[in-house]
Amino acid sequence: MKISVVTTMYRSASYIKEFYERTLEALGDDFEEREIVIVNDGSPDNSHEVVQELMQDNDDIVLVELSRNYGHHNAAMEGIRQATGDLIFYSDCDLEEPPELVSTFHKEWLKDQSYDLLYGVQEERTGGFFRRLGGSLFYKVINFLSAAEIPHNVSMTRFMTRKFVDDLLKYDERNFYIDGIFALTGYKQKALIVPKIYKGDTTYNLGRKLNLAIEGLLSQSDRLLLAVFFSGLLISLVSALFVLYLFYQKLIHAITIDGWTGLMVSVWFLGGVIILSIGIVGLYVGKIFIETKKRPHVIVKNRISKK
């Protein structure tokens, strides 16, 4: 049985060698065949040179070079697409989660091979208060909108069967949220608690995190559009009732209600709702625009392997 270990590189020169060596040690003699698929996601450092040095003495490395930086999730999916093993293990190479998990996940899968996906979850989200609060709110919102539940604090570490991967790759979306795609694929899945070290520095800055959150919310469901519709309907009904109330006060009690403050607040409120609604619709239209172009997910510049 062959295993493919997949990872991606972006500013990973200081991690990739240790990741590779620890992965090999963890695999041991458990597999007759193995390959380590490393995707270079347009890394601006010397990660590429480090891997090529490793390849001089090791013939189990497959280096996939993308033509530019396409983003973490696109690179991860391309690595999974390039993997040829009967079992596929994905983990980031930044060592925040130990590479030895490949052995842990394999042993757990051997106990019950009816599972097609084992995935890692953090027992407790790492980082500061606002990081943990933001993550908790994100999962609550996205699961409210999504058709398939996404586990809280899920990690990128996954152990997959060939059957699961083949069906996972049938999702040909240009705009996707990788955790959502894994959830939508279905099959029998199991969560394992994994340790995670938060180093404090990450290539995921605030802008990237916000973009990822928006991508997740929009790609998983169209329920935001329904929320816009029902919000507009509710505001219209409340406004109509308020107009009837004003007519009642004027005609029955001869009371005229004035006040520019209330009027301006109402105008600003309705204006904000309208702009927000147009913005949400615009985001969906933008996603449709990208999907209809049928652009490639990534462009593979080189695939380097000794085999």
| pLDDT above 70 for 108 | yes
- The residues near 149 (Cβ < 8 Å, ≥ 6 apart) are 143, 183
Least confident of 9-18, 123-132, 237-246: 123-132
Residue 272: per-residue pLDDT: 64
Rounded Cα gap, residues 283 and 86, in angstroms: 39
Q: How far is CA 186 from CA 118, 149, 181, 183, in A?
A: 12, 10, 9, 6
Q: What is the pLDDT of residue 118?
A: 93
H runs (alpha helix) in the chain: 16-27, 47-57, 72-82, 101-111, 129-145, 162-168, 178-185, 206-220, 223-253, 260-293
Give pLDDT, residue 153. 77
Look-up of token digits 């990128």: 156
In this structure, how many other beta carbons lie within 10 angstroms of the beta carbon of residue 147? Answer: 11
Name the architecture of domain 2-221+298-305.
Answer: Alpha-Beta Complex (3.90)
Exposure string for 166-192, b = 16+ CB within 10 A, e = fewer: eebeeeeeeebbbbbbbbbbeeebeeb
pLDDT value for 116: 92
**Residue type for position 180:** G
- pLDDT tens-digit series, residues 260-274: 545 655 676 676 667
**What tens digit of pLDDT does each residue of 219-267 get?**
655 666 666 666 766 776 676 677 667 667 667 766 665 655 456 556 7
* Chain centroid to CA 238: 38
> Would you place residue 87 in the very low, low, confident or very high pLDDT band (cuts 50, 70, 90)?
very high
DSSP 74: H
Q: How confident is the model at residue 140 (pLDDT cuts 50, 70, 90)?
A: low
Please, are residues 13 and 46 in contact by the beta-carbon 8 Å criterion? yes
* pLDDT given for residue 250 in this prediction: 67
Q: Is the pLDDT of residue 292 over 80?
A: no
